[in-house]
Amino acid sequence: MVDNVDFNSDPKKVFWQFTRPLLILTLFEAGYSFIDVFWVSQMNPESFFAIGVAVPLVTLIINFGKAIGVGTNSIMSREIGDDDYVDSYNSILHGIAAGLILGLLIMLSTLFLKYILIYMGATSSMDLSMQYLTPIFLCPFVFIFSNFFASTLQAEGNSKTPTKLLILTNVLNLILDPIFIFVLGLGVSGVSYATILSSGITAVYLLYWYMSGKSEVPLNFRYFKPGIVYDIFLVAIPNFLIDSLWCISMLFFNKILILQLGQIGVLLYSTASRIESILISPQKAFGRGLISVCGHLYGAHRIDELEDLYHYVLKKSILIALISTVIFFFIRDYGFALFSVTGASESVFYIALAAIVIIPFNEVSVMSGKMLDGMGKSYYELSFTIGIIIYEIGIVTLLAPIFKHGVCVLLGILIGEVTFAIVYYILLKHLFNKAKKK
């Protein structure tokens, strides 16, 4: 809780106080993602391909909750840092209202799901993709509010409660997956039901946490006043668009890979993304912790400490990224073999080699983006994300006639990540210097 966290004495200590439980959470989330797809890959290649194609759409739904949570977290952190608790109460109410509206819109979009899959080029796996996606699109609230309330509790300084609940969610999901898939014989749709049930338990309990008064921030509509929703979406919309645009780029890369490699291209990309989720799990924890601490420091106008924290987190995250990617390089074949991806040892070699460069540079971009979120300047991050996606798609398009077997996609991502990591760092240095002069 806020009363138990001293943001003023030692920001680095507070950062680790936030981040340690989140490290455990992100490792569990990555492990869940890994094992979840492992169970699917044991059914048949067609099911694995169907879920690989559908993943960007599921990611969009989850990102709705995360984006609104990040926007609300950013405002709550800055307001608490400025000792304005009433507005922090108001911001969470607006966040809930936004989540309800977005959830209804997602449910309505189920009517157009088939046409979306046709546009994505998923005609060969249409039935399996629909079986997987339909239950998720009809139950978006469990994903939106489990992520939303986890973010708002972190803004108060309480990262342990959502961490324990989300870990429980992942463990429950891992237990339910084989039961729904194999024992009950539900196949691909069983993956959806297991995910909905486990996430729903977290969402309901976190809502109970707020309604029962255990939170420092009460859910009481007497604190509601119009206007603050604009500030929430000033951070939430860029964050959602950022994740949405990455999903769109995934769809583009999938099309290129299907043209050059067939189904194995999507399976390689999907598997690499799952393995990457484990390698960058510390990055996710650092980013979540950084938003809250950054918001408090920026709200209190402590720019020197903010800049010092930025460089400190960068060093730690890049070091961890280098160690994890080098280790993965030597065990790469075992990781891909778990998902029955075999006979592509040359492609796996180049993917693992590129990861040693891509992931550390990606750390710079992500940590810089989280600093911008905490400062309430997510529009910079959105502009950069649009730029990097256009840049990478442009490079891949130019290289596709020259480099076959998916190499063009790998090179495009590598060049894009290196370029924009440098640009991000220059921008943050400029913003720190500008803030010091005020």
How is residue 136 written in tokens? 């998720």
Least confident range from 344-358, 375-389, 390-404, 412-426: namely: 375-389
Domain boundaries, the chain: 2-437
Q: What pLDDT score was predicted for residue 235? A: 63
Which of residues 268 and 1 earns the better pLDDT score? 268
Helix (H, G, I), strand (E, B) or coil at 217: coil
- Who has greater pLDDT, 324 or 299? 324
Which pLDDT score, from 0 to 100, does residue 125 have? 75
For residues 359 and 352, give the distance between their C-alpha atoms in angstroms, rounded to a whole number: 10
The pLDDT of residue 364 is 93
Tokens (6 digits) for 330: 């030597």
Higher pLDDT, 101 or 69: 101
- Check pLDDT > 80 for residue 216: no
In contact, 381 and 287? CB cutoff 8 Å: no
Q: Which of 417, 22, 326 is nearest to 409 (CA)?
A: 417
Position 232 confidence tier, pLDDT thresholds 50, 70, 90:
low
Range in 8-12, 45-49, 120-124, 266-270 the model is least confident about: 120-124
pLDDT greater than 50 at residue 1: no
Give tens-digit pLDDT for 109-135: 999 888 888 876 667 778 888 998 999
Contacts 24+ apart (CB under 8 A), 102-109: 102/64, 102/68, 102/140, 102/144, 103/64, 103/140, 103/141, 103/144, 106/61, 106/64, 106/137, 106/140, 107/137, 107/138, 107/140, 109/137
The predicted pLDDT at position 227 comes to 59
| pTM of the entire predicted model | 0.65
**What DSSP letter does each residue of 126-176 carry, written as one string?**
HHHHHHHHHHHHH-THHHHHHHHHHHHHHHHT--HHHHHHHHHHHHHHHHH
* Residue 108 CB coordination number (10 Å): 10
Query: What's the average model confidence in pLDDT over 306-319?
Result: 92
Highest mean pLDDT among 75-84, 98-107, 221-230: 98-107
> What is the pLDDT confidence band of residue 2, given thresholds at 50, 70 and 90?
very low
CA atoms within 13 A on the CB side of 11: 23
Residue 85: band (very low, low, confident or very high) from pLDDT cuts 50, 70, 90: low
Non-local (6+) Cβ contacts of 329 within 8 A are 352, 353, 355, 356
